[in-house]
C-alpha cells in the first residue's frame, strides 16, 4: 500500500487524505500489511475493495456516516462497507437487526440479502474504523494504524460537509463523537445492533427516520433505505 497509482482511491478522498499517506503511522501500517501478505495470510476484504467505502461515497456527497469496527473475517463476506456482505452471502446477525429496525421504523420489508452498496451510492459512508482483518481472527489488525486514518476521515466529513448524520452504534462508535462538530451535524447514538445488545435500545431507536427528517430539513434528499432486490 503506497501513495502511488496502484491505490485506486476516489479523487476527492485522495486529495483530502494525501498527507496521511506520508505519516509515520501509515508507513508502519503499510509495512505491517506487506509482512502479512508476504507470510501468506488471507486478508479481508480483497485488496481492491479495502477502500470501497471511500470509492463508493465521495467526500462531497457524504450525508450519513455509519461506523463499524472491523471487517467481517469469514471467507467471501467483507467488501469494504461496514455491516454489508457481498451478494450471495446471508445477512449476518447484526445486519438482520438493522433490517428489523428499518422495518419497525419505516415499514421497509426485510430484504433477502446483505449487500448495502446502494446505500453507499446515495451518500451513506459505511466506514469500518479498522479497514482490514486476517481470516477468522477478529480485531487482528486493530491498533496497527488504521484508526488514525479513519479518525481523519471522520474529521474531514465533520469539517467539510455542512449537515451530516452520524449514526454511532455501540461504545466503540460512540467514542468517535469527540471528532464530530455536534453544532452542525446530527449525532445519533445507540447500543450496537448485535444480538447481544440490540433489544436494549437499538430496536426502537428510530435512527433511520430521524436521519431522513434531518436531511430534508437541510434541503437534502432522504436516503432510500429500501434495498433493491438482487
Which grid cell sits at 179?
A: 471528532
Quote the CA–CA distance of 9 and 56 in Å, as a whole number.
Answer: 10
Choosing from 70, 105, 151, 181, which is the catalytic residue?
70
- CA Rg, the chain, in Å? 17
**Distance in angstroms (rounded) separating the CA atoms of residues 104 and 198:** 13
Q: Quick check: is 60 catalytic? A: no
DSSP annotation string for 138-181: TTTTTTSSHHHHHHHHHHHHHHH-SS-EEEEESHHHHGGGGGS-
Cβ-contact 151, 176 below 8 angstroms = yes
Q: Which residues of 148-169 are buried (b: 16+ CB within 10 A; e: fewer)?
A: bbbebbbebbbeebeebbbbbb
Between the two ends of the chain, the Cα-to-Cα distance in Å is 32
Based on DSSP, count helices (H) and strands (E) in the chain, helices before strands.
8, 6
- Catalytic site positions: 70
Amino acid at each position: 500500500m503506497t501513495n502511488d497509482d496502484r491505490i485506486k482511491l476516489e479523487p476527492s478522498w485522495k486529495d483530502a487524505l494525501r498527507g496521511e499517506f506520508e505519516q509515520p503511522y501509515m508507513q508502519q501500517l503499510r509495512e505491517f500489511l506487506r509482512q502479512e501478505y508476504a507470510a501468506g495470510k488471507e486478508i479481508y476484504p480483497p485488496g481492491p475493495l479495502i477502500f470501497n467505502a471511500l470509492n463508493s461515497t465521495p467526500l462531497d456527497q457524504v450525508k450519513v456516516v455509519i461506523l463499524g469496527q472491523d471487517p467481517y473475517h469469514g471467507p467471501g463476506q467483507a467488501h469494504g462497507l461496514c455491516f454489508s456482505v457481498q451478494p450471495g452471502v446471508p445477512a449476518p446477525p447484526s445486519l438482520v437487526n438493522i433490517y428489523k429496525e428499518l422495518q419497525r421504523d419505516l415499514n421497509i420489508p426485510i430484504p433477502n440479502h446483505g449487500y448495502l452498496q446502494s446505500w453507499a451510492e446515495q451518500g451513506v459512508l459505511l466506514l469500518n474504523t479498522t479497514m482490514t482483518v486476517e481470516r477468522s481472527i477478529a480485531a487482528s489488525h486493530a491498533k496497527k494504524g488504521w484508526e488514525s486514518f479513519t479518525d481523519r476521515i471522520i474529521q474531514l466529513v465533520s469539517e467539510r460537509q455542512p449537515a451530516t448524520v452520524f449514526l454511532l452504534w455501540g461504545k466503540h462508535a460512540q467514542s468517535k463523537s469527540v471528532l464530530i462538530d455536534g453544532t452542525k451535524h446530527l449525532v445519533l447514538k445507540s447500543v450496537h445492533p448485535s444480538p447481544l445488545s440490540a433489544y436494549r435500545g437499538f430496536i426502537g431507536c428510530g435512527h433511520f427516520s430521524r436521519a431522513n427528517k434531518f436531511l430534508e430539513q437541510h434541503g437534502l434528499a432522504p436516503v432510500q433505505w429500501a434495498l433493491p432486490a438482487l
